[in-house]
């Protein structure tokens, strides 16, 4: 039976509507991945590069008093000053790197990591300045005004059974923890996946702390503090008093650097806030590219339908 012109028109319109609907649906998914997915991208781990093997890293030297124990490399650049070792010890197989090319490379990678962490989009901007008493899920956190962070009691980080869950804390100012402060990790949370991006100085005075502290300037530990993670300072110093800094659980010993003679490099990297996460930028570009291709596909489909109607 021959199909009438009106039947063909209805069939054409119905097929085109289904095609456009599918394209718009895919476009909506791409939009959600681009804009709604930023929170997921923001909770990705911070890439420390060669700084990952360091438990302690400074810009203007490391000073220790008492029997501090460092499980991870210790380094400083550009200032070579390392005092108080011994009685402090850097446990084997880790090494001290003072103003050499290894420490320079670690400082360069720390700058990149710091900027990545600072550029992540917060999943929460309403946390109080004092994090005491909070139980937080994986994500990126800062105060409403990106002000100073403090901890006077217990902060609980709940990975919800995901051992790869990431927590990032941002402050454009300082981080201060009191003598009763504790960072508690539950339900598979790992100190290796906790990062503190600090815009100026960090002062840790509590009995236990967890995560990698990346401070733009200096880091000071009170007496007898245990840090499960790293203390990495950009342009300033690191001060220790009979403390324990244990990054061993987060370090692949098969890739540890070896001492290298001081290179003829005189410029030191700068560490500061700012910059956008490469992961976020890549995700946006990919998704926008997908949307452009979908739009082109819709236009081609309409053109073909009009030029070559079905019979």
pLDDT of residue 125: 63
The β-bridge partners of 177 are: 151, 204
Look at residues 31, 55, 28, 44 and name the one whose alpha carbon lies nearest to residue 110.
Answer: 55
Give the global pTM. Answer: 0.73
pLDDT value of position 247: 98
What's residue 261's pLDDT? 53
Q: How confident is the model at residue 145 (pLDDT cuts 50, 70, 90)?
A: confident
pLDDT of residue 144: 81
pLDDT category of residue 113 using cuts at 50, 70 and 90? very high
pLDDT of residue 121: 86
pLDDT in tens, 238-265: 999 999 999 999 999 998 998 665 443 4
pLDDT reported for residue 192: 98
Q: Which whole number is the average pLDDT over 120-135? A: 86
Average pLDDT over residues 102-114: 98
**CA–CA separation, 194 vs 2, rounded Å?**
70
Question: Among 28-37, 57-66, 184-193, 233-242, where is mean pLDDT lowest?
Answer: 28-37
DSSP state of 75: E
Q: Is the pLDDT of residue 22 over 50?
A: no
Cα–Cα distance for residue pair 105/261, rounded to 1 Å: 13
Averaged pLDDT for residues 211-216:
98
**SS3 at position 118:** helix
**Higher-confidence position of 43 and 284:** 43
* Strongest mean pLDDT among 123-137, 189-203, 293-307: 189-203
Higher pLDDT, 13 or 46: 46
Percentage of the chain exceeding pLDDT 70: 68
Alpha carbons within 13 angstroms on the beta-carbon side of residue 212 total 30
Q: Poorest-confidence range of 33-47, 100-114, 145-159? A: 33-47
Instruction: Record the tokens describing residue 306, joined without a space.
Output: 């009009």
Quick one: average pLDDT of 115-122?
92
CA 306 – CA 192 distance, rounded (Å): 58
Average pLDDT of every residue of the chain = 79
Give the pLDDT confidence of 190-208 residue by residue, as tens digits: 999 999 999 999 999 999 9
b/e 58-86 (16+ beta carbons within 10 angstroms → b): bbbbbbbeeebbbbbbbbbbbbeebebbe
pLDDT at residue 213 greater than cutoff 80: yes
What pLDDT, on a 0 to 100 scale, did the predictor assign at position 44? 85
Contact at 8 Å (CB) between 70 and 94?
A: yes
- Give the pLDDT confidence of 57-105 residue by residue, as tens digits: 999 999 999 999 999 999 999 999 999 999 999 999 999 999 999 999 9
């Amino acid at each position: 039976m021959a199909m009438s012109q009106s039947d063909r028109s209805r069939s054409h319109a119905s097929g085109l509507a289904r095609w456009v609907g599918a394209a718009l649906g895919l476009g909506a998914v791409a939009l959600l991945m681009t804009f709604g997915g930023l929170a997921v991208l923001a909770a990705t781990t911070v890439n420390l590069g060669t700084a990952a093997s360091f438990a302690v890293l400074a810009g203007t030297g490391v000073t220790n008093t008492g029997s501090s124990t460092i499980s991870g490399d210790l380094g400083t650049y550009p200032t070579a000053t390392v005092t108080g070792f011994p009685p402090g010890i850097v446990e084997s197989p880790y090494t001290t790197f003072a103003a050499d090319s290894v420490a320079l490379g670690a400082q360069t990678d720390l700058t990149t990591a710091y900027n990545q962490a600072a550029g992540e989009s917060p999943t929460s901007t309403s946390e109080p300045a004092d994090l005491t008493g909070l139980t937080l899920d994986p994500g990126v956190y800062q105060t409403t005004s990106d002000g100073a962070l403090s901890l006077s009691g217990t902060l609980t980080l709940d990975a919800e059974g995901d051992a790869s869950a990431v927590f990032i804390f941002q402050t454009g100012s300082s981080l201060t923890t009191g003598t009763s402060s504790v960072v508690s990790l539950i339900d598979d949370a790992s100190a290796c996946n906790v990062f503190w991006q600090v815009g100026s100085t960090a002062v840790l005075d509590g009995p236990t702390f967890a995560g990698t502290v990346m401070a733009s300037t200096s880091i000071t530990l009170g007496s007898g503090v245990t840090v499960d993670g790293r203390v990495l300072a950009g342009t300033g110093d690191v001060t220790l008093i009979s403390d324990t800094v244990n990054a061993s659980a987060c370090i692949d010993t098969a890739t540890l650097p070896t001492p290298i003679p001081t290179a003829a490099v005189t410029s030191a990297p700068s560490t500061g806030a700012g910059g956008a996460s490469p992961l976020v930028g890549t995700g946006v570009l990919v998704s926008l590219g997908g949307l452009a291709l979908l739009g082109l596909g819709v236009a081609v489909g309409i053109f073909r339908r009009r030029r070559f109607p079905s019979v």
